[in-house]
Homo-oligomer: A and B are copies of this chain.
Amino acid sequence: MKWEFDNDRPIYVQIVEQLKIRIITHTYPPGSKLPSVRDLSMETKVNPNTMQKALGELESAGLIYTQRTNGKYVTDDVHIISKEKEALIEEYMQAFLQDMTRLELTTEEIISYIRKEEKQ
């Protein structure tokens, strides 16, 4: 996955999202060491403080933890990770279905749309 940001949402929020996905999909496996803050900020071409802020959010969400002076690690509590995944899916799903319902689409219409998109 590339590091590309759009301009209408804070960069740090987008970083949080993408790191979350990497963790959830085990691109960064449980217990693995993250690149250093400096390296990550170089890679994303973002100020170290911005990266720090993003990582702080992940840490308070319990998805990563910091070993003093030694780096940051993905939590090895797979339970937290899979729970986060469920929560994320649920969140996207509900927002989406609410939007669709407002537009007065039935479940079957939604599904047929999805199948149509799939074929493209």
For A97, the closest partner residue in chain B by CB is: B117
Given contacts A7-B66, A96-B96, contact A107 B114 (CB under 8 A): yes
**Count of identical protomers in the assembly:** 4
- Within A71-103, which residues are at the interface with B (CB < 8 Å)? 85, 88-89, 92-94, 96-97, 99-100, 102-103
Q: How far is the CB of A31 from chain B (nearest CB, A)?
A: 16
A-B contact pairs, 26 of them (CB 8 A): A1-B102, A7-B65, A7-B66, A7-B67, A7-B68, A11-B68, A21-B102, A21-B103, A25-B102, A25-B103, A60-B60, A85-B103, A88-B103, A89-B103, A92-B96, A92-B100, A93-B114, A93-B117, A94-B117, A97-B114, A97-B117, A110-B114, A111-B111, A111-B114, A111-B115, A114-B114
